[in-house]
Amino acid sequence: MFDRLQDRLMAALKKLARGGRLSEADVDAGLREIRLALLEADVNLAVAKDFIAHVRARAIGANILSSLSAGEMLTKVVYDELTETLGGAEYDPRFRFGSGQSVIMLAGLQGSGKTTTAAKLAQRFKSEGRRPLLVAADLSRPAAVEQLRLLGQQIHAAVYAEDLGDPVAVAKAGVAHGAKQGLTPVIVDTAGRLAIDEALMDELQRVKAEIAPQEILLVLDALTGQDAVETARRFDERLDLTGLILTKLDGDARGGAALSMRQVTGKPIRLVGVGEKLEALEYFHPARMAGRIIGQGDVLSLIEKAAVSVDEEEARRLEAKLRREKRFDLDDFLAAMRQAKRMGSMRQLLSFIPGLKLTDEQIEEGQAELKKFEAIVCSMTRAERRDPTLLNANRRVRIANGSGTTVPDINRFVSQFREMQKMTAAMLKGKGLPR
């Protein structure tokens, strides 16, 4: 996400940073580059104009032109303005539920990923220790009810899916069922259409009136760009939305819809879909996203993702073993690699690392290399994984044949693993192993 915008913004800011002191003409030239970057990223024209005007006013007003670190200071101004455009540094997208039952109503057009997002939202609440209920109130799309039922089974979440003939009756009965079973929050999946029409809006308004939801979230496809912004505006006029969920943001290299949404609609982006897996729904933190856009990474989100994805029991086992044996073997390497894979794709994980910018080719090469490494380790005996010094020439030939690789691949892998062992050993000899 935001790949194109990130490339153009970082290039413009690096050019300014190399110059030391800046003239007003330098700033204007840099802002022209940034304005083009915003427009190429499909940012709303009015939002782009306001953004540039605010950055210029703050840059000139702060009198940064005469500073030796003017480029760095201008980067800070751009970061602050990006954060503000996306929702503000103080905005917290997480839900604040009371002690009673909470109801979340999802709305959106067909094809936006609404039903899948309902399941992803339930999965996120389960990871936070809640007991959600999914209500299948989308009776317009064939198989929508069955889809939600199957997704609920995958994540082991309760689903209410009665054939009552009327979506309003289903929504009302589902909320009542949740209250009876002590399930909360209740997530109501409503019908969509290919386009906004009166029949759709009337139905959604009747559902809202009947269930009185605390949250009304609009699910939007980020790939539709500025159409998504207009859709949000029209839904908000009829439903008074409390927030937005952008799906398929990982497939949108431009990201203009996300940058425009908050400014144009006045509604915050609460969550974003960043992959097909049911765990791939993240809270949208404006300051963290702004940092990623200008190449500063997002370590906090990486830590949170690890906390959700990593098997704590497995992590404790590995820690205890390292403390006891003071060494890291290939079984440990395989376990750690598989834990990392659960956190998401390499592309997604690398986007969190500050200052790290790799090409698509480099990322693909890295992913292919990791697959190769996993095949190599899986082709070893248990004794060989525990003690790589056993890997003589004959054993390496056998492993190469078993893993579909070559002996030079085995040699390179073993060499790299030995370096990793040295690093681990050095860390263990220090002040202790950090958790």
| DSSP state letters, 269-280 | EEEEE-SSSTT-
**Four-residue CA torsion sign, 325, 331, 335, 341:** positive
Residues 369-388, mean pLDDT to the nearest whole number:
89
Looking at the structure, do residues 257 and 209 belong to the same domain, yes or no?
yes
Looking at the structure, do residues 133 and 270 belong to the same domain, yes or no?
yes
What is the per-residue pLDDT for 433? 47
Is pTM beyond 0.75 here? no
What is the per-residue pLDDT for 298? 59
Which strand (E) or helix (H) includes residue 215?
strand 215-221
Q: Categorize the per-residue pLDDT at 371 as very low, low, confident or very high, splitting at 50, 70 and 90.
A: confident
Backbone angles phi and psi of 136, in degrees to 5: -90, 85
Residue 420 in this model has a pLDDT that exceeds 60: yes
Domain that holds residue 377: 305-429
Looking at the structure, do residues 39 and 119 belong to the same domain, yes or no?
no
- Distance, in Å, from the CA atom of 191 to the CA atom of 167, rounded to the nearest integer, reads 8
What is the per-residue pLDDT for 142? 79
Mean pLDDT of the chain: 84
Looking at the structure, do residues 71 and 141 belong to the same domain, yes or no?
no
Looking at the structure, do residues 135 and 277 belong to the same domain, yes or no?
yes
Backbone angles phi and psi of 137, in degrees to 5: -105, 15
Residue recorded with tokens 């220090």:
430
Residues 322-328, mean pLDDT to the nearest whole number:
66
Residue 176 in this model has a pLDDT that exceeds 90: yes
- Distance, in Å, from the CA atom of 378 to the CA atom of 395, rounded to the nearest integer, reads 13
Name which residue leads in pLDDT, 147 or 259. 147
Residue 385 in this model has a pLDDT that exceeds 60: yes
Looking at the structure, do residues 257 and 177 belong to the same domain, yes or no?
yes
Which of 271, 297, 323 represents a domain boundary (last residue)? 297
- Distance, in Å, from the CA atom of 56 to the CA atom of 65, rounded to the nearest integer, reads 11
Looking at the structure, do residues 154 and 203 belong to the same domain, yes or no?
yes
The helix, strand and coil proportions of the chain, stated in percent and rounded to the nearest 5, come to: 60, 10, 30
Residue recorded with tokens 């003017």:
70
Q: Is residue 56 part of a domain?
A: yes
Q: Sheet with 281-283: list strands edge to edge.
A: 158-160, 133-136, 186-189, 103-107, 215-221, 243-247, 269-273, 281-283
Q: Is residue 434 part of a domain?
A: no
Residues 274-301, mean pLDDT to the nearest whole number:
81
Q: Is residue 92 part of a domain?
A: no
Which of 277, 297, 317 represents a domain boundary (last residue)? 297
> Per residue in 195-231, pLDDT tens?
888 989 999 999 999 999 999 999 998 888 888 888 9
Ranges 203-212, 293-302, 413-422: which has the least confidence:
293-302
- Distance, in Å, from the CA atom of 176 to the CA atom of 171, rounded to the nearest integer, reads 9
Residue 381: CB partners within 8 Å, gap ≥ 6?
A: none
**Four-residue CA torsion sign, 423, 426, 431, 435:** positive
Looking at the structure, do residues 127 and 243 belong to the same domain, yes or no?
yes
Looking at the structure, do residues 16 and 164 belong to the same domain, yes or no?
no
CATH number of 417's domain:
1.10.260.30
Ranges 173-182, 233-242, 307-316: which has the least confidence:
307-316
Cα-based distances in Å from 339 to 38, 276, 314, 327: 37, 18, 9, 19
CATH number of 82's domain:
1.20.120.140
Name which residue leads in pLDDT, 74 or 235. 235
Q: Is residue 157 part of a domain?
A: yes
Q: Is residue 96 part of a domain?
A: no
What is the per-residue pLDDT for 141? 85
Looking at the structure, do residues 123 and 238 belong to the same domain, yes or no?
yes
Question: Would you state the structure tokens that stand for residue 135, as one six-digit string?
Answer: 């209500």
> Per residue in 234-252, pLDDT tens?
999 999 999 999 998 877 6
Contact criterion met (CB below 8 Å) for 43 and 264: no
What is the per-residue pLDDT for 307? 62
Q: Is residue 255 part of a domain?
A: yes
Looking at the structure, do residues 291 and 309 belong to the same domain, yes or no?
no
Number of folded domains that form the chain: 3
Q: Is residue 57 part of a domain?
A: yes
CATH number of 262's domain:
3.40.50.300
Q: Is residue 435 part of a domain?
A: no
Which residues are registered as beta bridge partners of 131?
A: 184
Which of 54, 86, 118 represents a domain boundary (last residue)? 86
What is the per-residue pLDDT for 123? 95
- What burial class does residue 174 get, using C-beta atoms within 10 Å of its C-beta: 0-12 exposed, 13-18 middle, 19+ buried? buried
Looking at the structure, do residues 280 and 341 belong to the same domain, yes or no?
no
